[in-house]
Structure 1
Amino acid sequence: MTKLKVGILGAARIATTKVIPPMRGCHYAEPVAIGSRSLEKAQKAAAELGLAKAYGSYEELLADPEIDLIYNPLPNHEHVPWTIKAAEAGKHVLCEKPLGMTEADAQRLLEVRDRTGKAIQEAFMVRTHPQWHKARALVEREIGELKAITGHFSYHNVDPANVRNVKEWGGGGMLDIGCYPITTSRFVTGMEPKRVAAVIENDPTTGIDRRGSVIMDFGPFTATFTYGTQMAPRQTMSFVGDKGWVEVEIPFNAPNDRPCRLYLDKGELRQDERQLIEVPTCDQYGIMMDAFAKAILDGHQQPVPLEDSMKNMRVIDAVFRAAEHGRWEEVAAG
């Protein structure tokens, strides 16, 4: 079976602990190399992860003719420039979310994709996880007319040196975690919000957005969520219709060591009447990489096209405008 050979830009924690280990079990992709600005760091990561090659610069990795696909987990402000360099070096790219700092920033990738012919995808692992495909089917068939979506995503991190807390590098809660309720709301419903309203609180020291509450108006229903980077860790995502509701128990950091669980309630408001639906144990990062690689090999549309990522970025931009101006902001069509 043909496998795409994957190179990793940098030794970010998400790459070394979350993405590379399950990638070794992929059917259509094989991690073989890692590049870092420190050769020693690259060699250490390669030895620990069983990778054949280590490079002391990103440029050397991109110059390797054996590499077919690059995984880019660099800090947010380096997503677009290094994804462009990788595509121009003849590599397909799976780039960590958010794809860019703004829609205009990420828009450059569409031109690069079309010019180079290389596939570029945002690494939203939730979009290929079976529990979200199950959630979409349940919302479509089991709860009647959808009326409201509610969500929450938070963690606690006050380290000013952490990349998530460096504003100039694209740190902040919306780009890090607020983007998840947006993309899953859009994915499950297949619709785009018409306008958004938001309240955002910035950290007085670092300047990053540390808490936000958002309303997305889809027309027939609303989606509301809160995110926070200095709150107790919590995740929820619920879809409420006129005949029942669906809840995804651990919507975003889905476990890879046990089944994921969803709950379906047909409006009984009794816990013993609630239906538990289990999704078999899987690793969402491995599934994401395999789905992307398979689409490339088969010549099919990738699971998360760039056009979809642009729509997600468009909503994020509108949220920031709404918070700044204190009013509803339209989400531009396109």
Structure 2
Amino acid sequence: MTDPIRWGIVGASNFARKSMGPALHAARGSRVTALATRSSDKAAAFADFLPDLRIEEDYDALLRADDIDAIYVPLPNHLHVEWVLKALEAGKHVLCEKPIALHASEVDRLIAARDSSGLLAAEAFMIVHHPQWQRARQLLSEGTVGRLRHVETTFTFFNDDPANIRNREGMGGGGLRDIGVYAFGSVLYATDARPGDMNAKLTMEGDWDSFAEVTAAFPDFTFHTVVSTRMAPRQRVVFHGDKGVLELTAPFNAGTFDQAELVIETAMNTRTIERWPGVNQYVLQVEAFCDSVRNGTPYAWTLEQTRGSLEMIDRSFEVGKG
């Protein structure tokens, strides 16, 4: 039997406790070995489902541990690049929460460190591991909607908590970096296209955005999105071609926001709905990562693809704040 990939978690975030910690524990070929945190209360919450978990009080000590193969980084956004680089330098594979960097140019350092180390480093862009997105990508490549003419994405939720890191200066927060990565990255993944001219209207609150409306001209289709942390929860993606339409009704938080459904309309009065109840995209993400580490299987979301979504975020800030 193949030994499991042994994980260390750097930082005891709520998301790591509620979503990724359980996924790392549940995934085939994966085992959570240690957690680095100075908070005994946060450590105790992880022990509820990981009773044998070792607790390290020092992040660097976790990176030095010989019984750790891979590091999961759920730290605040502005710390991601630093700890991804440290993990690679320590000889560990690394999976980092999105956005893996605050600017596209920073990803170049990560690519260089990944390549020189021969290790896997990736952004935790879980949606590309969900079968609804793999199916959408397949249908678009097969020309199910004909020539793709327009893409519409929406991702909004309401969060005005001043203590939340998304709403604090200097933390790399705001809507575009938190959820814009999905509004942009999903389209890049599904179409393999890159945008030309972009326009944006942003509502800034200090150094972060609470509302963004972005348009872009791709080579063969137009694009429009609304991203906000000050609106009622909604998420949709629509691919509109000259012969049909694909709509994903829970594209980003499938199973939490709603059941994953792909609606396919290809002719007058012809409508097909494909559903994926019970799929955990976080578990699938971990299993894909472990398979890539163990067997060299190509990973579905590379740092080069990550750079593409961050370029769109950078450009949105450039044109939207001007």
Within 5 Å, give how 1:22-37 maps onto structure 2: 22-37=23-38
1:5 corresponds to: 6
2:231 corresponds to: 231
| Residue 216 of structure 1: how far off its partner (Å) | 1.7
Distance in structure 2 (CA, Å) of the matches to 1:124 and 1:176: 12
Give the root-mean-square deviation of aligned CA atoms.
Answer: 1.7
Deviations 1:230-249 (A, max 9, x none): 11011010000001101001
For the structure 1 residues 168 and 257, does the alpha-carbon distance in structure 2 shift closer, same or farther, using more than 3 Å as the test? closer
Deviations 1:54-73 (A, max 9, x none): 11121121121100000001
1:124 corresponds to: 125
> Any unmatched runs of 5+ in structure 2?
none
1:95 corresponds to: 96
| Residue 256 of structure 1: how far off its partner (Å) | 6.4
Deviations 1:281-319 (A, max 9, x none): 210111011101101100233221111111221221111
Matched, 1:250 2:246: no
Distance in structure 2 (CA, Å) of the matches to 1:227 and 1:70: 30
Percent of residue pairs identical: 34
| Residue 77 of structure 1: how far off its partner (Å) | 0.4
TM-score normalised by the chain length of structure 1: 0.91
Matched, 1:196 2:193: no
Distance in structure 2 (CA, Å) of the matches to 1:42 and 1:109: 29
Distance in structure 2 (CA, Å) of the matches to 1:29 and 1:130: 21
* 1:289 corresponds to which of 278, 286, 289: 286
Distance in structure 2 (CA, Å) of the matches to 1:128 and 1:200: 30
Distance in structure 2 (CA, Å) of the matches to 1:292 and 1:149: 29
1:216 corresponds to: 216
Distance in structure 1 (CA, Å) of the matches to 2:97 and 2:216: 24
Secondary structure, counterpart of 2:170 in structure 1: helix
1:158 corresponds to: 160
1:299 corresponds to: 296
Distance in structure 2 (CA, Å) of the matches to 1:45 and 1:34: 11
1:83 corresponds to: 84
| Residue 115 of structure 1: how far off its partner (Å) | 2.4
1:275 corresponds to: 272
| Residue 20 of structure 1: how far off its partner (Å) | 1.4
> Any unmatched runs of 5+ in structure 1?
326-334
1:328 corresponds to: none
2:173 corresponds to: 171
1:316 corresponds to: 313
Kept in 2: contact 1:75–1:169 (CA 8 A): yes
Distance in structure 2 (CA, Å) of the matches to 1:211 and 1:316: 13
Runs of 4+ in 1 over 4 A off after TM superposition: 256-259
TM-score normalised by the chain length of structure 2: 0.94
The number of equivalent residue pairs is 319
The letter for the 2-side match of 1:48 is: D
Within 5 Å, give how 1:99-118 maps onto structure 2: 99-118=100-119
Distance in structure 2 (CA, Å) of the matches to 1:317 and 1:117: 28
For the structure 1 residues 99 and 257, does the alpha-carbon distance in structure 2 shift closer, same or farther, using more than 3 Å as the test? closer
| Residue 139 of structure 1: how far off its partner (Å) | 2.4
Distance in structure 2 (CA, Å) of the matches to 1:88 and 1:127: 27
Q: Which 10-residue stretch deviates more, 305-314 or 166-175?
A: 305-314
For the structure 1 residues 258 and 77, does the alpha-carbon distance in structure 2 shift closer, same or farther, using more than 3 Å as the test? closer
The letter for the 2-side match of 1:148 is: H
The letter for the 1-side match of 2:184 is: I
1:329 corresponds to: none
| Residue 37 of structure 1: how far off its partner (Å) | 3.3
The letter for the 2-side match of 1:119 is: L
1:44 corresponds to: 44
Distance in structure 1 (CA, Å) of the matches to 2:78 and 2:119: 21
Kept in 2: contact 1:185–1:223 (CA 8 A): no
1:261 corresponds to: 261
Distance in structure 1 (CA, Å) of the matches to 2:171 and 2:253: 23
| Residue 2 of structure 1: how far off its partner (Å) | 2.5
Deviations 1:208-227 (A, max 9, x none): 20000011211210111000
1:74 corresponds to: 75
Kept in 1: contact 2:250–2:258 (CA 8 A): no
Deviations 1:44-100 (A, max 9, x none): 134123142111121121121100000001000010001111111111000011110
Secondary structure, counterpart of 1:85 in structure 2: helix
Kept in 2: contact 1:147–1:221 (CA 8 A): yes
